[in-house]
Structure 1
């Protein structure tokens, strides 16, 4: 269940020293002072993205990150990551066109969609985006007819038990079917260069990467017997975007991956290892500010004297905006926390329910959470809102999407030109 705290948070969980919470709160206050009735907005701390990249390089030097554009495709984010020298995981023509526009070479792009639109395959051929995934024979037939010169990566089902968003049913070749599929690719004279997998959107199975990397080793060996000499391993995404108490951290995951790579793909083999982080790069860089636009009181008893009072608040953003990922129909759930912007820590708290601004009955953001009594016009903020938020926002009911304001140190602006 979504939780909330009535006081201003002292720290936003992320990588220690990489996120200046007070700077973000200061900018939020400044924007509200400019227009207290403004629509919801994000403060985007680009320094956080830069520091995440540095952290990745420090902890997993063998693994080159290919940022998953689908996670957050806002232009300053893509431009920043491109300037850092990372690669990109693209799932459509529109995504690799956006990346190419920022001067990224095709050698820094993987078209990592196992089921591609034929028109997009044609565009990839025209642009020279020649590294792409597949997981079934029908995809091979499609690629053979449209882009036979591509370099292919076999996507397999991961060995995962606790993924909160498991791609296994949707994409990935089962382990016992890989040999047959590779033999088919060989018959079709298609160049398969490696193996990929994706653990899932949120995964807290600390052994999942190790177990799946071991399986990849077996498939590499099978492929060699067929006549392939694989040179690429893509370990996908699923990396945490900020620290969650009691759950594996990014450092924990990196340690597990490094151990598995050293055991199953030693450096002397010269296998290129890449990954497809999305949430990791952007989740903690975005903080959403939104305000209370409506309020009502609920009482549990027949009279005010005998009842326990609770509050219902209507907020200026909801599931059709930044909070689509909180819908119960989505398995991938993020740990959303609402913070009151102004000091109310000495006030009593009440049971509260938070609704979005639309007329859609499922537009409920939280229930049974503790908050002080709020007034219409009060502001809340929500940290860690950079992943799968802006890309999923709509204008349902004619409600505008949140604005974005970017925050970067002078050093980062000068270094990256963002």
Structure 2
């Protein structure tokens, strides 16, 4: 196997023993855990024996029998309520583990999180707040304060319905709004970092550039995948360092390249000779990452038809880059949005290694592997993040083809993984009509405040089939008619193609009743436009932070039954 020089600017973090972690200089700037807020003195550089804390790290992530990464699950409701058990860690120990960074599993190295510059002494009031008690980090706690997030118990469908009803009673909205549960974003981030410690997530901003989600990910130390100067500008204005951004668009507009050059963006992707010539003319200092094609034929949104060079094309592209004096530093791929076949990742990582070897023979210093997106993230009925199978597949492929001693930095571009479960969409009914069919049957038409030009563009462009629940208006009396009719749900524009669903079974709805759409955070409002002058792109928002990703009462019942 070819040996690559260790990248001295980003050395892999090594731990002499599995149960021992050395704090870095950036980590000692982090605040103490909530239980230690009595003393505000800055903690000193020291070592911590994790066995003394009784952290069940190995059973949670690594198979006791084989030592391999097993299906990673961590109980969100137990973590966040502080209850201990076989499903996860209590809240304080989770915070301690995060403050110490992630533990190296077996011989895999961990990438340090960029926590940004040191800040002023922590505000004692913030240290005592529920926001800090819930998150364990000052930066994330401040985000919740700034967004005026409400602290709630349950983040499942029942909990979301309760919060929506409270909001409707208090504010009497008559238009679309979202309930954004930022705690789910943190749960996904923690699960990712524990299950794939070598792979730093760079959130795909295109998936949902919701400011609250972005600010939380900034505070947690994520990187960002940007695809335009608009997205670059958005993240730079939030204070994100250019070193935490990859300009992951293989065919950039000239204005985008100039903006990236003028604002210090270092990394970008390419997959054609044409792009290399543009880069050589407008920003030859780019660190270029060759995107190769890696298709999952069953992905919800395949991307290989448009982007990604065939592996057989790599030698010509690399030679062209060398002739132009450009810096090729890595390889990227994207298996397609919502990947279904995990073997696609294994094959893509193997092909990426072949390109690395080819580039090395041409004298390129290869330092970066970008395994793209395609990830999904959901919770089971206990609140566990279901992520283990894909993590196991990727970790195994990385160990085989990019072992830690190569010194290669590994990143990914998850979007849907972080965003989908974060948001619940509420749409009121504002119009209705009865139509009598030839057989005398009555069919119902209902108009919603959102449609295919708004958040439901996901039906056309992302292949989604969003599920809904009826929420009766708390401002109206209980309905007298409980019959069910074949119904059609129309969007609000003048376009007759603006139809969300046809011929679905619904109870009688009234103007002012609502439909609730869970898991509506990915590729929904991000793809909306304001057609007909209707403000689809700026829906109302309610930020919450739940103690549980699922409805607590239901989860506790499942525990008792087990």
Both proteins in one fold, TM over 0.5:
yes
Aligned to 1:368: 503
Equivalent position to 2:468, from 324, 338, 345: 338
Assess, with a 3 A threshold, how the Cα gap between structure 1 residues 166 and 244 changes in structure 2: closer, same or farther. farther
1:243: Cα distance to partner?
5.8
Give the conservation status (yes or no) of the 8 Å contact 1:111–1:131: yes
Matches within 5 A, 1:114-125: 114-125=250-261
- Aligned partners of 1:295, 1:223: CA distance in 2, in Å? 63
Aligned to 1:7: none
Aligned to 1:386: 521
Aligned to 1:221: 357
1:255 pairs with 2:392: yes
Give the conservation status (yes or no) of the 8 Å contact 1:242–1:384: no
- TM-score norm. by structure 1 comes to 0.87
Greater than 6 Å deviation, 4+ residue runs? none
- Aligned partners of 1:261, 1:381: CA distance in 2, in Å? 41
Aligned to 1:9: none
Other structure's SS at 1:289 match: strand
Aligned to 1:278: 415
Aligned to 1:289: 426
1:56: Cα distance to partner?
0.8
1:408 pairs with 2:525: no
Aligned to 1:71: 207
Give the conservation status (yes or no) of the 8 Å contact 1:132–1:151: yes
1:296: Cα distance to partner?
2.2
Matches within 5 A, 1:186-265: 186-242=322-378, 249-265=386-402
Assess, with a 3 A threshold, how the Cα gap between structure 1 residues 409 and 338 changes in structure 2: closer, same or farther. closer
Aligned to 1:414: none
Other structure's SS at 1:350 match: strand
- TM-score norm. by structure 2 comes to 0.65
Equivalent position to 2:306, from 163, 166, 170: 170
Assess, with a 3 A threshold, how the Cα gap between structure 1 residues 347 and 268 changes in structure 2: closer, same or farther. farther
For residues 194-213 of structure 1, give each alpha carbon's deviation from its aligned partner in whole angstroms, at most 9, with x where no partner exists: 10011112221121111111
Structure 2 unmatched ranges of 5 or more: 1-73, 81-153, 473-477, 548-562
Other structure's SS at 1:94 match: helix
Assess, with a 3 A threshold, how the Cα gap between structure 1 residues 362 and 16 changes in structure 2: closer, same or farther. farther
Give the conservation status (yes or no) of the 8 Å contact 2:489–2:501: yes
Matches within 5 A, 1:120-159: 120-159=256-295
1:82 pairs with 2:212: no
Other structure's SS at 1:25 match: helix
- Aligned partners of 1:191, 1:352: CA distance in 2, in Å? 58
- Aligned partners of 1:91, 1:190: CA distance in 2, in Å? 21
- Aligned partners of 1:15, 1:159: CA distance in 2, in Å? 33
Please, which moves more after superposition, 25-34 or 131-140? Answer: 25-34
Aligned to 1:395: 530
1:311: Cα distance to partner?
2.2
Other structure's SS at 1:133 match: strand
Higher relative contact order (CA closer than 8 Å, sequence separation 6+): 1
1:235: Cα distance to partner?
0.5
> Whose Rg is larger?
2
Aligned to 2:449: 316
For residues 13-52 of structure 1, give each alpha carbon's deviation from its aligned partner in whole angstroms, at most 9, with x where no partner exists: x985386124422221122113445211001111111111
Give the conservation status (yes or no) of the 8 Å contact 1:318–1:357: yes
- Aligned partners of 1:225, 1:169: CA distance in 2, in Å? 29
- Aligned partners of 1:384, 1:115: CA distance in 2, in Å? 31
1:358: Cα distance to partner?
1.1
For residues 371-405 of structure 1, give each alpha carbon's deviation from its aligned partner in whole angstroms, at most 9, with x where no partner exists: 22222221110011111222222222222232112
- Aligned partners of 2:306, 2:540: CA distance in 1, in Å? 33
- Aligned partners of 2:171, 2:223: CA distance in 1, in Å? 39
Other structure's SS at 1:197 match: strand
User: How many residue pairs end up in the alignment?
Assistant: 387
Other structure's SS at 2:487 match: strand
1:347: Cα distance to partner?
4.4
Structure 1 unmatched ranges of 5 or more: 1-13, 411-418
Aligned to 1:266: 403
- Aligned partners of 1:156, 1:234: CA distance in 2, in Å? 10
Give the conservation status (yes or no) of the 8 Å contact 1:90–1:111: yes
Assess, with a 3 A threshold, how the Cα gap between structure 1 residues 352 and 250 changes in structure 2: closer, same or farther. farther
1:106: Cα distance to partner?
1.2
